[in-house]
Amino acid sequence: MSKNYYSKDFFHEQKKGSLRSAKEVVPLVMDLIKPKSVIDVGCGIGAWLSVFREYGISDILEVNREWVDK
């Protein structure tokens, strides 16, 4: 049985700050590492991965526990 530790409101509140952080950090990662793929463990609603997609990364793996609504 899954436990619902996080509500939809929690993820909604986190999204704005996560996107702001990702938009600052992802360009640096792209310049330094030049990744071809990305895995995000505990990605929530995928804010960081959405920014990697904006930079052309399509090989993406999202890993969450069962309490995150897919």
- Tens-digit pLDDT profile for residues 33-68: 999 999 999 887 889 999 999 999 999 998 876 655
pTM across the whole model:
0.78
Helix (H) or strand (E) holding 67: none
Q: Which residue in 23, 18, 31, 30 sits closest to 57, CA to CA?
A: 30
Query: Out of 13-17, 23-27, 46-50, 57-61, which region has the weakest mean confidence (pLDDT)?
Result: 13-17
- Model confidence at 17: pLDDT above 70: yes
8 Å CB contact between 19 and 47: yes
The more confident residue out of 17 and 3 is 17
Residue 1 pLDDT level (bands cut at 50, 70, 90): very low
User: CA 51 to CA 25: how far, in whole Å?
Assistant: 10
